[in-house]
Chain A
Amino acid sequence: MPSTTARAREYQVAPRYLAGSTHTGDPGLQPLLDAGWALSRDELGNVFVTSPDHTVRTGFLPKGERGDLWMITAHPNAFAPPSWQVTLDLSAPPEIVGEFTTALATGPDSVLAGATGGYDVTDRFLDEHGWHLARERATAVFRSPDGLVALHRQLGYLRPEAEVAGDVERWLFEVGPPGHRWYATATSDLPDHLLETLTIAVASPELVQRYLRHSELGHLPAQATAVPTAPSPLEVARIRAATARSAPAPRAAGASVLAYTTATRPAALTMPTPAGRAR
């Protein structure tokens, strides 16, 4: 018998970067809301969360002018152009965004501080995480051991305006096998500690929960694993059926009837007539 029901069921999907999105921005925005940042929406359905001084802005932009994007920027003041900008496709797992925004919410003073360039970050991934390096023309490509996460570093000078406009990107994450790929970008002046946070978040092998229908399971990349975390509705029904069948069996013996007559219940119902108040 096929496991027919088209109902969603909870799975643990690994690695996280192949788990896809949840079509909600909550995991990415919640760390900022928890820090007391303000949420607002435009009339198109884009959602923004800003720091109180407007210097750090996060957008969940299903109706953005540049496509479906997460956009995160940091500014030296409320009226200045961004010092750095990070984008992720909305098809990226929002938990990855949440790890990055957690770093922004907990360390607002360091959002614009620290070394840039990223060489220490990429060296660490090469030395400690088994990534390897390839060169493609003007790009250095750092690739994870499983080959499914690639971080491209554009070499040479890039105009800041072109970077912010999205015409070129200093850092480009390319995640997932062909056909299941999502992208993230970062501009040159993203501080190294945040680039590292972002890279760790992107490449983390950990599990995430997803509610998936049977048909959606088939759309996961072949490299992903999905393990059910709870019994399916069908299994729940089977368990109940099994319990139901076993319950009448003792009752047939007759002796168990007394065991279920809990004396407290009728007592509780008759309680509200104590002597003094009966009147």
Chain B
Amino acid sequence: MPDTPDKPRAYRIAPRYLANADADGSGAVQPLLDAGWALSRDDEGNTFVTAPDLRARLAHLPESDGRTLWKISASPDAFAPPEWLVTFDNQTPPEVVADFTTALADAYTRGPSAYLGGDGQTVGVDTCLQLLAEEWSLDPTTPFLTYQSPDRLVRLQVRDNPLRHEAQMAGDTERWLFEAGPPGQVWYATASSRLPEHLLQALTTAVTDPSPVQRSMRRIDLEHLPAEATATPTAPTPMEVARIRAATARSVSSASSRQPPPAAQLFPPVPISTIAATTPRRSPP
């Protein structure tokens, strides 16, 4: 029997980096708002969140050109160009962004030495050693230094040539490039050279975290999930709810004969075999 109506349903998707980009990005902004940062919007509908001293900021740019949806930076003062820049593209699960903003909000409360790097020359060694310790491998087939996760679904490219700081801040190039997902369904995160090591580690952890996330998905969405992802329903479907209510209604109406309560009128008792046929007409108002 086909489970016909294509209504969204809650699933747990694992690993997180294979889940789709949820439309609601507010969870990524909340850690910064909780830390006392201020939110503003431009005329187009882009959102900006900035620290009180304007040294660190986040931009959510649904109305800008290009794939980059999230830009996060920190500067030595309110008027200076950023010291570092982290970006996420528009296919990135917002929970990944939220984990990074949580780490940034925490670093911000600890002061400039925590969220601004020093000279930044040695950043990344610890992060890469950590990846190798977690059985990541070096992929010899790319022109860049590329680390690959054991499941081969997350890659970290490291450019080891000199990069102009201005070009990195403009988003023209980047020191660190994360790619997550199977071919054709890749999302990207980037980080520039002077991102402090602990924030690079927080970013790496956020990108590679395999824990499941909640998604509301229709059948068609499930089919678009990468084959490597698993989707587990977390709540009964509307049909299951109907079945449960129908079962409850039958037991109630047996007690008070012929006067079923309002809930039971919404879902009149019908044999289970006919539920599929009647469901489309009972679409919610």
Contacts and interface: CB of A to CB of B under 8 A. Distances in A.
Contacts of B59: 54, 78-79
A250 B227 CA distance: 104
Nearest to B44: A53
Interface string B33-46: 00000101111001
Interface in B40-86: 40-43, 46, 48, 50, 52-54, 57, 59, 71, 73, 77-82, 85
B144 to A, nearest CB: 24
Contact of A79 (B53, B77, B169): B169
Q: How large is the interface on A (under 10, 10 to 19, 20 to 34, 35 or more residues)?
A: 20 to 34
B54 A81 contact: no
B38 A59 contact: no
Contacts of A46: 53, 78
A43 B51 CA distance: 11
A80 B81 contact: yes
Interface stretch (A34-42, A201-209, A219-227): A34-42
Interface in A64-99: 65, 71, 73, 78-82, 85
A62 to B, nearest CB: 14
A57 interface: yes
Given A48-B53, A50-B50, A78-B57, A73 B79 contact: yes
A233 interface: no
A79 B42 contact: no
B129 interface: no
B53 A42 contact: yes
A50 B81 contact: no
Nearest to B171: A79
A161 to B, nearest CB: 10
Interface of B: 38, 40-43, 46, 48, 50, 52-54, 57, 59, 71, 73, 77-82, 85, 166, 169-170
22 contacts: A38-B40, A40-B38, A40-B54, A41-B53, A42-B53, A42-B54, A43-B53, A48-B54, A50-B50, A50-B54, A52-B42, A53-B43, A57-B54, A57-B78, A59-B78, A79-B57, A79-B169, A80-B169, A80-B170, A81-B80, A81-B169, A82-B81
Given A50-B40, A54-B40, 11 more contacts: A38-B40, A48-B53, A48-B54, A52-B42, A52-B48, A71-B78, A73-B79, A78-B59, A78-B71, A79-B82, A81-B169
3 nearest interchain CB pairs? A42-B53, A81-B81, A53-B42
